[in-house]
Amino acid sequence: MLYDLIGICGVILILIMYGMVQTDRLSVKNIYYSIFNALGALFIIISLLVDFNLSAFLMEFFWLLFSLSGIYKYLKTPKIEREKRMQN
């Protein structure tokens, strides 16, 4: 039950971020997009430890990798450019 709740929280995080992007409330270049997507994918992976599903695991594993690469890219960006991104 606990793992299901963790997985559901992960799904909610990812869906909120996706909805915010689709409604122009958040840019995909905003660091929060990558952070919350990474957390969502991680939570779903944790839930899969109890009831493993290979295809779901692969999807979330790569979702996590892409999100982490977005965070890394953001952190490598000069501070002035990062501040501009945070405004979107």
Q: What is the reported pTM?
A: 0.88
SS3 content of the chain, % helix, strand, coil (to 5): 80, 0, 20
- The predicted model gives 43-64 an average pLDDT of 97
d(C-alpha 15, C-alpha 78), whole Å: 29
Q: What is the per-residue pLDDT for 87?
A: 66
Q: Which helix (H) or strand (E) holds 86?
A: helix 79-86
The separation between CA 72 and the C-alpha centre of its own chain, rounded to angstroms, equals: 13
The yes-or-no verdict on residue 80 having pLDDT over 90 is: no
Q: Are 26 and 88 in contact (CB under 8 A)?
A: yes
Q: What is the per-residue pLDDT for 83?
A: 75
